[in-house]
Amino acid sequence: GIQVEQSPPDLILQEGANSTLRCNFSDSVNNLQWFHQNPWGQLINLFYIPSGTKQNGRLSATTVATERYSLLYISSSQTTDSGVYFCAVEWVAGTALIFGKGTTLSVSS
């Protein structure tokens, strides 16, 4: 099956710093989503981005489908950005998402 690898596994930042999270996948995908799981366990949709670039406030994402990777950029990080960031791909059209193991982000003030 498809492999979804996220890096780095852990990231510690000072408030105000920028960061880049990476998601590599081993096969062509139909869809790709980025999620933020906050410290209370809630999963929040960040981006639905099978290809191209999207921006939402301080966050942006780029997926290069032909090279099988996606990047999530967080600028001017805040303590509320802490949590786990998951990349998930839809490998076979019409089936469920395959999740990576996540990047745990800790932002301190």
Partner 1 sequence: NAGVTQTPKFRVLKTGQSMTLLCAQDMNHEYMYWYRQDPGMGLRLIHYSVGEGTTAKGEVPDGYNVSRLKKQNFLLGLESAAPSQTSVYFCASSYVAGEFPDEQFFGPGTRLTVL
Site for partner 1 in 39-78 (CB under 8 A): 41-43, 45, 48
Question: Considering the rule CB under 8 A, would residue 30 count as an interface residue with partner 1?
Answer: yes
Nearer to partner 1, 20 or 42 (CB): 42
C-alpha to C-alpha distance for 80 and 39, rounded to whole angstroms: 9
Part in contact with partner 1 (CB under 8 A); list of ranges 14-22, 52-60, 71-79, 86-94: 86-94
Question: Considering the rule CB under 8 A, would residue 94 count as an interface residue with partner 1?
Answer: yes
C-alpha to C-alpha distance for 61 and 71, rounded to whole angstroms: 6
| Cα torsion angle, 3, 65, 33, 87, sign | positive
